[in-house]
Amino acid sequence: MDYQEICQKVCTVARWSGAFIRGERATFSAEKVEHKGHQNLVSYVDKEAERMIVASLKEILPSASVLGEEGVCDSNCESDYMWIIDPLDGTTNFIHGMPPYCVSIALQCGTEIVVGVVYEITLDECYYAWQGSYAYLNGGVIKVSEESKIENSLVITGLAYNIEEYRAHFNRLFDYFNRNSHGARRIGSAAADLVYVAAGRAECFYQANLSAWDVAAGALIVQRAGGRVTDFAGGNNYVFGKEIIATNGVTHASFTEIINS
């Protein structure tokens, strides 16, 4: 399987669907929003973008199954490959006309993510990597930050929906990092959070209760940029385990200790 060729094709799909999303934002109305929960929003834009993406990915790799945020779950037991897609990561940002929001597409083979593409629509930034490659942003190689000290680091996090038992932990850590680093940020798109770490814009991203489509593509990009990605316990169950810490690698042990304290 030529993962580089597949990745290049997926970049085209991500940019194409991102252009559709960008165009819809120009005339979008809040009346078109559906509520999956008080803070968990979806619109026809998410659903149509996912339909477009799935159709295009089926042309690239017809035998692969599909796992998507908006309900697409095509299980093909005869294939080792599965697409993991979020057609619009950062829907609430999109609805309010605020960046960032992204298209996120990953390809999994067995238990390994082998292709990852994140297209940050508002900045026209396409991040991508494949198994064994460097990490790229619009054709140029990107690398994680070399910062080794927490006090000089920028930290990104998020508070997932319907997780009240984590709120006190979130508040404590958010306060800690705001006092003991260059600051903490909550920007509303896990896919963007991850690729910003990959590009060296932040040293750490952590969050609980995320889904596979939120993190699969971005996690690979961080790793190929030289960073490290684990679950909160330091293990490898971060795609489906609903906990993720992504860092520049140098700071990983320190961030993991603080987050688990």
**Residue 38: per-residue pLDDT:** 42
The percent of residues in the chain predicted with pLDDT above 70, rounded, is 90
Q: Is 224 helix (H, G, I), strand (E, B) or coil?
A: helix
Top mean pLDDT of 38-52, 71-85, 164-178 is at: 164-178
pLDDT (tens digit per residue) in 144-179: 999 999 999 999 999 866 667 778 888 999 999 999
**Residue 41: per-residue pLDDT:** 47
> What are the binding residues for Mg(2+)?
69, 86, 88-89, 214
Q: Cα–Cα distance between 192 and 215 in angstroms, integer? A: 10
The residue ranges of DSSP E strands in 45-139, in sequence order, are 65-68, 73-74, 81-89, 102-109, 112-120, 125-130, 135-137
Q: Provide CB contacts within 8 A for 239, sequence distance 6+.
A: 84, 108, 113, 212, 215, 216, 219
Taken in order of first residue, the domains within the chain and their CATH numbers are 3-142 (3.30.540.10), 150-259 (3.40.190.80)
| pTM score, whole prediction | 0.93
Helix axes 44-60, 3-25, angle to 10 degrees: 160
Q: What is the mean pLDDT of the chain?
A: 92
Judging by beta carbons within 10 Å of its beta carbon (0-12, 13-18, 19+), is residue 78 exposed, middle or buried? Answer: exposed
Beta bridge pairs of residue 82:
65, 108
Exposure string over 132-155, b if 16+ CB within 10 A, otherwise e: ebebbbeeeebebbebeebeebbb
Q: Give mean pLDDT, residues 127-151.
A: 98
Q: Is the pLDDT of residue 37 over 70?
A: no
Q: Cα–Cα distance between 210 and 239 in angstroms, integer? A: 9
Cβ neighbour number for residue 257 with a 10 Å cutoff: 10
pLDDT (tens digit per residue) in 205-240: 999 999 999 999 999 999 999 999 999 999 999 999
Beta bridge pairs of residue 81:
109
Q: Is 206 helix (H, G, I), strand (E, B) or coil?
A: strand
**Residue 40: per-residue pLDDT:** 44
Cβ neighbour number for residue 162 with a 10 Å cutoff: 11
pLDDT (tens digit per residue) in 20-36: 999 988 887 666 566 45
> What are the binding residues?
69, 86, 88-89, 214
Q: Provide CB contacts within 8 A for 94, sequence distance 6+.
A: 21, 25, 28, 43, 45, 88, 101
